[in-house]
Amino acid sequence: MRKFPFFFISLILVTMAGAQTPAVFTGQVSFTYSGTINGTFTANTEINPDSLTLPDSGALAVALPDSGATQVFMAAFERTGDQIYQLMVVYLKDETDSLNAQTWTFPTDITNPSALFLFLPEVDSTLVSDLVGLIDTSGVDSSNVDSLFLDVISGLIQEAYLATGGSLNLETSGSDSLGGNFNLFCVKLPFSTLNITSGSFAFSPVDLPALSSIQEAEVPRTFELLPATPNPFNPVTRITYTLDRDSPLILDIYDIRGRLVDHLYKGWNSAGIHRVSWDASRFSSGLYIVRLESAGRGLTQKVLLLK
């Protein structure tokens, strides 16, 4: 199993963020697959913006109208084991200024794709954690959407089942819904194949921002981990930190013996003040260590859970 870096998934959403504000949806995706491997996929959105505990499943979609085209990115995930997930990624392109109900037939031209479907039956939770925190697509300007998207696909395609036959039907689209169905034949090099049947998706809009950390306007001059509040707590505490520059960041929780017990965030953060809630309802009372790492710098603090 391969861990996919934050870079690939962040680039997918960067490609969606052009001149106009994207529409963001959450919802559900399901399908059955058979062939080299057999199973089912069911993702229902359980993402709670007030908690960074990684959910068992979730589905999000971003639709971006741009001059001469409308693009849609969908991602859905489902936990299948300890820190193991299966992941579906879809890209659709409509050569009009608004997304219309229509059918995409596979395969499409990989050098200029109008539709791509990828299914990864086994990925590390790090990739899913990055996806959960990537609903914010504001303030990014991409001058070459297609080339950036292909860079992302080149990073995922080696590990994914890629649709090479069948069709995806968009039945409803607009500001208040995004839904449809699909039946596909997928190939993973060198010799694996899947038949995906009874596929369906249904999304409803959400209000932006639905962020895992909230950036404020003030840009601090220090890298600092502020006191968690409340502390002691039961069962939720808020962790506040400041970043003096844009940088990668990891926020984890350890027990008093130094064992990692919860992973809150891993990805790129902008300079600013950020707040993250930790829901410790599934943990026992005791002393825990908050560990913040960014660009070779590390900070810790103790928090006390009392139940």
CATH of the domain at 301: 2.60.40.1930
**pLDDT tens per residue across span 16-47:** 444 455 677 888 999 999 999 999 999 987 54
Averaged pLDDT score across all residues of the chain? 77
Looking at the structure, do residues 143 and 110 belong to the same domain, yes or no?
Answer: yes
Number of folded domains in the chain? 2
**pLDDT tens per residue across span 161-197:** 999 999 999 998 776 788 999 999 999 988 899 999 9
With CA atoms as reference, report the closest residue to 180 among 25, 69, 17, 10.
25
Q: CA-to-CA distance for 59 and 200, rounded, in angstroms? A: 12
Kindly state whether residue 214 falls inside one of the protein's structural domains. no
Kindly state whether residue 194 falls inside one of the protein's structural domains. yes
With CA atoms as reference, report the closest residue to 139 among 4, 246, 282, 297.
246
| Distance between first and last Cα of the chain | 38
Which comes out higher in pLDDT, residue 241 or 207? 241
Using a pLDDT cut of 90, give the percent of the chain over it.
Answer: 31
Kindly state whether residue 84 falls inside one of the protein's structural domains. yes
Kindly state whether residue 217 falls inside one of the protein's structural domains. no
- Six token digits for residue 16: 């969606």
- Six token digits for residue 90: 């879809």
Q: Which helix (H) or strand (E) holds 8?
A: helix 6-16
Looking at the structure, do residues 23 and 137 belong to the same domain, yes or no?
Answer: yes
Looking at the structure, do residues 293 and 252 belong to the same domain, yes or no?
Answer: yes
Does residue 227 register a pLDDT over 70? yes
Radius of gyration of the chain (CA): 20
Looking at the structure, do residues 141 and 92 belong to the same domain, yes or no?
Answer: yes
Looking at the structure, do residues 276 and 128 belong to the same domain, yes or no?
Answer: no
Q: CA-to-CA distance for 189 and 159, rounded, in angstroms? A: 8
99 close to 63: Cβ distance less than 8 angstroms: yes
- The residue written with tokens 């009372």 in the block is 285
Does residue 245 register a pLDDT over 90? no
Domain residues for the domain of 272 are 224-305
Looking at the structure, do residues 54 and 155 belong to the same domain, yes or no?
Answer: yes
204 close to 27: Cβ distance less than 8 angstroms: yes
57 close to 79: Cβ distance less than 8 angstroms: yes
Q: φ, ψ for residue 131 (rounded to 5)? A: -65, -40
Q: Is the peptide bond before 230 cis (omega within 30 degrees of 0)?
A: yes
Kindly state whether residue 145 falls inside one of the protein's structural domains. yes
Looking at the structure, do residues 124 and 264 belong to the same domain, yes or no?
Answer: no
Sorted by sequence, the CB contacts under 8 Å of residue 175 that are 6+ apart come out as 23, 205
**pLDDT tens per residue across span 52-111:** 445 788 888 877 776 677 888 888 889 898 878 898 988 888 877 677 889 999 988 766
Looking at the structure, do residues 104 and 47 belong to the same domain, yes or no?
Answer: yes
Residue 307 is which amino acid? Answer: K
CB-count exposure of residue 3 (10 Å: 0-12, 13-18, 19+): exposed
- Six token digits for residue 115: 């539709």
| pLDDT-derived band at 222, boundaries 50, 70, 90 | confident
